Structure 1
Amino acid sequence: MSNVLIVAEHLAGKLNGSTAKCVSAAQALKPEAIDILVLAADPAAVAADAAKIAGVRKVLTVANDANAHPVAQVLGPQVAKLAEGYSHVFGPSTTFGKDLMPAVAALLGTAQVSDLMTVESSHVFTRPIYAGNAIVTVQATADRPVVATVRTASWPEAARDGGADIEAVTVEAELPTHTRFVDLAAGKSDRPDLQSAKRVVSGGRGVGSEENFKIIFDFADKIGAAVGASRAAVDAGYVPNELQVGQTGKIIAPDLYIAIGISGAIQHLTGIKDAGTIVAINKDPDSAIFEIADIGLVGDLFKVLPELEAAL
């Protein structure tokens, strides 16, 4: 039987929704048990939140000042030690998971399955390749633990009506001294996180300038949405690259995605293929974005958005 250990992603004492999505992926294995591991300086608040996720047997907590910041080289040895006895170790396919899970796989002497989309059996999975234009079936080695990152855009969050036990554990792992946390430089915003937001408004090259992008931010604030951008807008310097959506940016799956002034390059569409409802606003009726949009509006964004804001 399978038993799964999920490494929780959290920041500033708050559990990231990607952890609940990993639980959904783990449930597809029909495992004997699903446990969540919380590594932090003070894991109490995160563990209490994780314990509410349905389908989780227990939440393991490791309190260590060294875990105050998510440094893969520090967390990796601890995860690898605690993974003993588990058949699968899952983490989200986010910046956090993509940094940590390869280190865990290396320490466990196995290959990583990346961007897990579906579970076919205990050791057979599907994942996207070629910017999502093809899906490949991969088979993990049966005699080693399966270490995988879960494509969060492909899985819903598990329900939050559970009541798992919380267990404090200690781990004897040699932590490196050559890698240490120095500083975190991050933009501050009151808007929802781009990767976990239910609504996202993105602007593209058609917005025209950094100054004009204010119309995108204002509209997003009006509907309580996160803000994204196409690579063209990022390359033009309209917004910073942490807002980029697409193959070389963030892969997202909001309930509502509004693309404004975005032509619809295949690299951008890769990042939104799992969105619930896609709305496109563009003055070019031949834009590729209209081919995949559920709702399309041909018009000048500088006229359309103020009218939409007024209606809202």
Structure 2
Amino acid sequence: MKILLFFTTILLIMGHVSCTTDNVTGITGGSVIINCKYEDNKKSPKSFCKDTDDECTTVTTAQDNLWIPDKRFSMYDNKSVGFLSVLIRNLTITDTGEYKFKAGSKCSEDVKLHVQHEPCCGTLEKQTADLGGTVTIRCKYPETYKDFAKLLFKVQNGSLQSISSTRGATTGDRFFQNVNFQENVFTVTIINVNKHDDGVYVCGVFITFGEISYNSLLTEVHLHITDPTGASDSNIIIVVCVCLTLLLAGGLSFLLLRRRCNKTEGSIPSSHQTNTRDSDEVSSSVYYETIKDSDIGSSAQSPVRLNTVYATAHLPTSPSDRDFYTLAELPKSSTKP
């Protein structure tokens, strides 16, 4: 795996670099990469420790990757060139102190780290770009770093790969860099954005003082690539679903309203029900018979017609004290038993 190929090449051109790195400066909230080249003991165990109370406490050993998201301390050993890189992320003031590289019994020199606060840097930012569009990543840096090389890294497969530098060419024709020395801003513009541009970018400065070399990482930028075509399709689907829902609700409301109207038309008005009840009572009423004085002795009676409700009763010529209505008795047979 190629780890920090750009810096490895520079260090190899410079020649032997011992582990005498001193006065390394980091920014609170940022990160720092401390480099160390060794010539022997490629198979010996490697470690990085911090001096505390006359004891060097190991903070990390060689890992498979330099960039491990859930770890603040990590170290990668590039055995093919004898090169160690230690990454310390999310720096705090308490990280200030003396550290040592250890490669077997050799390469055990002090590294002095000083962490300071800079209002311009040490932040994590998020940006969004459309697929096929253009995006510009802004990297601010302190005034004290204006004379050093500014770089933009991308985290890929556990390593940090330089994609743009003010001291060298970019990695492709889609990247354009610019430095505003008045505002202390280094920008990288990416055109024709593709899905592979999605990821974590880190703004950094490469610092060298003779045999001293390290990278001060100032800002993390999380770039997310979106597909506007996919967003449009989603919007169309949402609109169609809403229309279908409204049509379904309207159809259901229409059916319920029609059913209610049918029930209303099938019901009988109260006036009609009253007339029907009165007619039933008339038809089921008791027939009244017409009683005439001359027909008292007869045995046959004439029923009242269905259309006649009340019959006229012929009262006796001389009213008596009896009740207004009298019972009609059938004539008794004249033959005695």
* Bucket of the pairwise TM-score, normalised by the shorter protein: under 0.3
Higher strand fraction (1 or 2) = 2
TM-score by length of 2: 0.22
Higher helix fraction (1 or 2) = 1
TM-score by length of 1: 0.24
When Rg is computed on C-alpha atoms for both structures, the one with the higher figure is 2
